[in-house]
Chains A and B, each alone.
Chain A
Amino acid sequence: MTTLLILAVLVLGLMAVLRLSRVYELTATLRGKREEMISDRDNRMNARLMWLFPFFYFGFFIWLTLHYKDKLLPVAASEHGEWLDRMYDINWAILLAAFFLTNTLLFYFSGKYYFRKDRWAYYYPHNNKWELAWTIVPSVVLIGIIIYGLTVWNRITTAAVPGTPEVELYGKQFDWTARYPGKDGRLGATDFRLINDNNPLGIVTPASIATRLEELKAEEEAGGKQLAEEHDYLPPDRKHELEEHIAHIRRVRSRILNLRTLMEQDIAAKKAAGQESQYSFGADDIVVKEFHLPVGQDVELLIRSRDIIHSAYLPHMRAQMNAVPGMTTRMHLKPTITTDSMRLVTKNPAFDFILLCNKICGASHYNMQMALVVEPEGAYRAWLAQQKGFQTAEAATPAAAPSDSTKTTASADTNATAAVNEPKTH
């Protein structure tokens, strides 16, 4: 209702202005006034407004700053965040000086030198000294800014020290999942084709491969059955769709079979060399919809996406990295303030560090978030100890296919590894 009123007032106001302008135009024509001859009055009025405008402009700026400075992001809660906050302060000081200087000159000159008939402008086409000055001064300042900026950037992006604990953040429409390594301290390999309800991240283990193959086989059979039974009355486009679907399942299956071969070979080879395969780390991984980090410890975040590009944005940590399907991106950070301390600092008992999505990702992009709990080492360990390993979750599902049949298919498919792209039928 208020909006309607506002709109009505606006429209009426506009109509009034238009009528007035028409009246003005008619009288101006009667008086023989020419539009291109800007009157002294108009020049003076605009010159005055040029002097008045900075009061609005700077005033608005100062009011916004004073009124909102405590409502912006609170103090940085990570080590590199502190460097960035300092860097912001220094950059703002330089930029604000330039802002006030140039705007003051601009509006001061604009208001001062308005047209007067009795004088001419000062013919001053160029002055090399001045031009050199305002090429060199900004250059020097900018080189300072660049050096400072790149120094901080290099410190932030230096690769994490080997042995830094890893945590995975996994984005999909429209939520985040975190993955922590189990007792082995390593994250297992993943493959997007193994994703199902029980394995949202597609972690590769012999069990998850077997389950997924069974599922796909069932899906393929169901499709084939439907095609055979309804062959005569399915509309052609639906039939084509179904055939495509079955072919797609076969392609996925054949690639999972290849993966299984690779996995088995790798496990065997690593075993012979007395090492552990990347495929044997997955079973004890912890997959959770919660995000905890220990305070005072550098952690490397591995960031992945299931579907489209998301961005893992932790504004309080001054950290952000895109989650790109098909690749793993990394950033490492050391939280310096726990959630509890931050609640005291901000005097807000409901305060939470938030991980949010900062890359447009669809209808619910605006609500893709997860709280981050930063806690002391002990509490963090305790929380981690309560979490179940991925394999435990896996074991809860119906048992995988009998090991005998898996073995046979495996050996039969070994030859297929060479022809990875050929869909395989059974």
Chain B
Amino acid sequence: MGSVAHAPEAVHGHAHADHHHHEESFVSKYIFSQDHKMISKQFLITAIIMAWVAVVMSIIFRLQLAWPGEGFSFTHFFLGDKWAPKGVLNPNMYLALVTIHGTIMVFFVLTGGLSGTFSNLLIPFQVGARDMASGFINMLSYWAFFLASVLMISSLFVEGGPASAGWTVYPPLSALPQAIPGSGTGMTLWLASMAVFIASSLMGGLNYVVTVLNLRTKGMKMTRLPLTIWAFFVTAVLGVLSFPVLLSAALLLLLDRTLGTSFYLSEIHIGGEALDHVGGSPILFQHLFWFLGHPEVYIVLLPALGITSEVISTNARKPIFGYRAMIGSILAIGFLSFIVWGHHMFITGMNPFLGSVFVFTTLLIAIPSAVKAFNYITTLWRGNIVFTPAMLFSIGLVATFIAGGLTGIILADSALDIVVHDTYFVVAHFHIVMGMSAIFGMFAGIYHWFPRMYGRMMNNKLGYAHFWITFVCAFGVFFPMHYIGLAGAPRRYYSYSEFPMFDGVVDLNVLITFFAIIGGSAQLLFTYNFFHSIWRGQKAVQNPWRSNTLEWTAPVEHLHGNWPGAIPTVHRWPYDYSKPGKPEDFVPQTTPLDDGEEEH
């Protein structure tokens, strides 16, 4: 496989770049491509399609929550008579929609989409490699992701509906079709899809780790890596270590469902019948699930933080403040993320002392997180901020990271968690800190590296409109949810009309739904801007943002092997912006140090 990466080396002696790559067929160039740039575009476009599916789902259940029991032609259009007679959402379908919305957003958009797109695009470019360590495995990774997406979407069309036990698929609910119709074929497809997804994620992750460790160009020490790469690297390590645990959890669940084993099931009487399962524990599944599930939060978040570090520094025309502290905090967050999973389980009857340990480790994560937030703010201080759409989304990320991070301190504190566990407070918290932050990071990445991906520019004015509408709506949607949660309203309720105690806050659901519809529609601006710019956008120059990193030293046109000549050599860290005594306010990494110049 190594030969793939080195093949262009053999030919780069030719004088003209055009001679480098032999003609490729349509299939090998656009479909079964082994080129990291094409694969990253494939991931991105698949993720955009999946994201739209999940957004439409959220609008459907938001309509139900705002006006419970009312019929909507929008709902009926998508779900038909079976799941939405007269446009009124069926309660089982409501649960299916929240389940699949969560699954798609967490795994297909913010894991596969985010890491798949930007690790693929940026790792070879920014470390100075011709391609991923294994182009072939990289291709398999995308096609496994694609297959997983198809399986997940196909589960929407089966008899009993898709998986409906929540994106965390806790058994016994997810194990017993008697308990909910979605736990039939729909759940089987969910598990199959996730198994393939995990395979994709592992192949991608191994490739990222190996590429970062082994294929850095001359002079690219680990301490000269852009923070994007550090973030992608740690993310990949987290994924490689934790996803197999989810795979095993899913396999055991599959065995319980099909072969009558009792890993997660014990002493269950359902449908008028005492089941044969004894001796298992549903709590075991939760431990296995969250052993992935919590690192997963950072698998989603770290790439977004990495992108933000790069975008903020470039557009503030100022070095990222505390580069080494930023690396340290990424590593600390990565490490701690493995020993905090129990904070999702404080009220499962777990030993209170064990709960205390998880409180301690979880609250420790707030320290590196605080360091990151303060470092971002200090980077902005006395900067010279160029407001590109990417920069706006990065600043937006810092805001959501702060708002969601702070409520995390409430939820991590087991005693406080008793009151708000599984309420809308949690929904507000993780949508802000994980959903919004990660999606803002993803948008920042798309706007920033679009010229690198497609050789064209996206429209700024549409970008501004997209950002400001999305930013206001993000808070408009998720901020009021804190209050609904503090009123004691549980999540995953089809309607609150059965509880007079929530009458005081249910009107917030109407407000939220309005913001959700406006915010969701604003994504049409983005989608239009994105696809329009692919073909009709202004042609990009080589280094549009006057950035220091290596990807901007390669020509705008995509070459197999990235650079027409030798791979550039690196002489300095990537954040020399506005360095005194330099002719310009940026100094690319390929510029040698002057005599007596300190690196930073």
In the bound complex, CA of A236 to CA of B459 (Å): 66
Main secondary structure on chain A at its contact with chain B?
A: helix
**B interface, size bucket:** 35 or more
Known contacts: A106-B399, A192-B274. The answer to whether A98 contacts B406 by CB under 8 A is yes
* Residue in contact with A123 in the complex, picked from B319, B323, B325, B410, CB distance below 8 Å: B319
Q: Which residue of A lies closest to B319 (CB)?
A: A125
- A90 to nearest B CB, angstroms? 10
A157 and B352 form a contact (CB under 8 A): yes
Of the listed stretches B49-57, B129-137, B189-197, B577-585, chain A binds B577-585
A68 at interface, CB cutoff 8 A:
yes
In the bound complex, CA of A326 to CA of B471 (Å): 46
Contact with B along A308-329 (1 / 0, CB 8 A): 1101010110111110111101
In the bound complex, CA of A196 to CA of B577 (Å): 75
B316 and A113 form a contact (CB under 8 A): yes
Of the listed stretches A29-37, A179-187, A273-281, A393-401, chain B binds A29-37
Known contacts: A125-B321, A135-B371. The answer to whether A363 contacts B528 by CB under 8 A is no
B392 at interface, CB cutoff 8 A:
yes
A105 at interface, CB cutoff 8 A:
yes
- A45 to nearest B CB, angstroms? 8
Of the listed stretches A2-10, A292-300, A384-392, chain B binds A2-10
- B62 to nearest A CB, angstroms? 11
B541 and A25 form a contact (CB under 8 A): no
* Residue in contact with B421 in the complex, picked from A91, A173, A358, A367, CB distance below 8 Å: A358
B206 at interface, CB cutoff 8 A:
no
A121 and B349 form a contact (CB under 8 A): no
B415 and A149 form a contact (CB under 8 A): yes
B153 at interface, CB cutoff 8 A:
no
Residues from 253 to 280 in A contacting B, C-beta threshold 8 Å: none
In the bound complex, CA of A15 to CA of B580 (Å): 48
Known contacts: A150-B359, A153-B352. The answer to whether A252 contacts B274 by CB under 8 A is yes
B317 and A121 form a contact (CB under 8 A): yes
B475 and A57 form a contact (CB under 8 A): yes
A120 and B578 form a contact (CB under 8 A): yes
Contact with A along B302-334 (1 / 0, CB 8 A): 000000000000001111111111000000000
A109 and B383 form a contact (CB under 8 A): yes
- A327 to nearest B CB, angstroms? 7
Q: Which residue of A lies closest to B317 (CB)?
A: A121
In the bound complex, CA of A365 to CA of B480 (Å): 23
B288 at interface, CB cutoff 8 A:
no
- B64 to nearest A CB, angstroms? 11
B267 and A121 form a contact (CB under 8 A): no
A7 and B316 form a contact (CB under 8 A): no
Residues in B with CB closer than 8 Å to A46 are 387, 392, 464
The residue in B171, B322, B580 that gathers the most chain A C-beta atoms within 10 A of its C-beta is: B322
- B372 to nearest A CB, angstroms? 10
Residues in A with CB closer than 8 Å to B479 are 60-61, 64
In the bound complex, CA of A84 to CA of B195 (Å): 42
In the bound complex, CA of A315 to CA of B419 (Å): 6
Known contacts: A73-B487, A121-B585, A202-B269. The answer to whether A102 contacts B517 by CB under 8 A is no
In the bound complex, CA of A320 to CA of B398 (Å): 33
Contact with A along B530-561 (1 / 0, CB 8 A): 00000001101100110000000000000000
A347 at interface, CB cutoff 8 A:
no
A24 and B91 form a contact (CB under 8 A): no
- B260 to nearest A CB, angstroms? 11
A119 at interface, CB cutoff 8 A:
yes
Residues in B with CB closer than 8 Å to A56 are 472, 475
B384 and A121 form a contact (CB under 8 A): yes
A3 and B63 form a contact (CB under 8 A): yes
Contact with B along A1-45 (1 / 0, CB 8 A): 001101100100010011001001100010000111010001101
Residues in B with CB closer than 8 Å to A4 are 73
B499 and A369 form a contact (CB under 8 A): yes
- A56 to nearest B CB, angstroms? 6
A124 and B384 form a contact (CB under 8 A): no
B28 at interface, CB cutoff 8 A:
no
A75 at interface, CB cutoff 8 A:
no
Residues in B with CB closer than 8 Å to A403 are none
- A5 to nearest B CB, angstroms? 12
B266 and A149 form a contact (CB under 8 A): no
In the bound complex, CA of A193 to CA of B275 (Å): 8
B483 at interface, CB cutoff 8 A:
yes
A361 at interface, CB cutoff 8 A:
yes
Residues in A with CB closer than 8 Å to B499 are 354, 356, 369
How many A-B pairs have beta carbons closer than 8 Å: the answer is 392
In the bound complex, CA of A224 to CA of B505 (Å): 57
B493 at interface, CB cutoff 8 A:
yes
A146 and B494 form a contact (CB under 8 A): no
A99 at interface, CB cutoff 8 A:
yes
In the bound complex, CA of A193 to CA of B319 (Å): 68
A42 and B500 form a contact (CB under 8 A): no
B73 and A365 form a contact (CB under 8 A): no
Residues in A with CB closer than 8 Å to B537 are 35
* Residue in contact with B359 in the complex, picked from A103, A138, A153, CB distance below 8 Å: A153
In the bound complex, CA of A38 to CA of B545 (Å): 10
In the bound complex, CA of A18 to CA of B521 (Å): 13
Q: Add 7 more A-B contacts to A153-B415, A193-B274 (CB < 8 A).
A: A60-B479, A98-B402, A103-B399, A106-B399, A145-B409, A150-B415, A361-B179
Of all A-B residue pairs in the complex, the 7 with the closest CB atoms, nearest first, are A71-B504, A326-B266, A315-B488, A329-B349, A36-B544, A157-B352, A46-B387
Chain B contacts to A: CB under 8 angstroms: 63, 72-74, 91-92, 95, 165-166, 170-173, 176, 179-180, 265-270, 273-274, 276, 278, 280-283, 316-325, 347-349, 352, 355-356, 359-360, 363-364, 366-367, 370-371, 373-378, 380-388, 392, 395, 398-399, 402-403, 406-407, 409-410, 413-416, 418-419, 421-423, 451, 457-462, 464-465, 468, 471-472, 475-476, 479-480, 483, 486-488, 490, 492-496, 498-501, 504-505, 508, 517-518, 521, 524-525, 528-529, 537-538, 540-541, 544-545, 575, 577-580, 585, 600
Chain A contacts to B: CB under 8 angstroms: 3-4, 6-7, 10, 14, 17-18, 21, 24-25, 29, 34-36, 38, 42-43, 45-47, 49-50, 53, 56-57, 60-61, 64-65, 68, 70-73, 83-84, 87-88, 91, 95, 98-99, 102-103, 105-107, 109-110, 113-116, 119-127, 130-131, 134-135, 138-139, 142, 145-146, 149-150, 152-154, 156-157, 172-173, 192-193, 195, 202, 248, 251-252, 303, 306-309, 311, 313, 315-316, 318-322, 324-327, 329-330, 350, 352, 354, 356-367, 369
**Can you list 22 A-B pairs with a CB-CB distance of less than 8 A?**
A42-B460, A72-B505, A84-B416, A113-B383, A115-B317, A122-B383, A124-B319, A124-B378, A125-B321, A139-B367, A150-B356, A192-B274, A252-B274, A309-B172, A318-B418, A325-B172, A327-B281, A357-B490, A358-B422, A358-B490, A360-B492, A366-B494
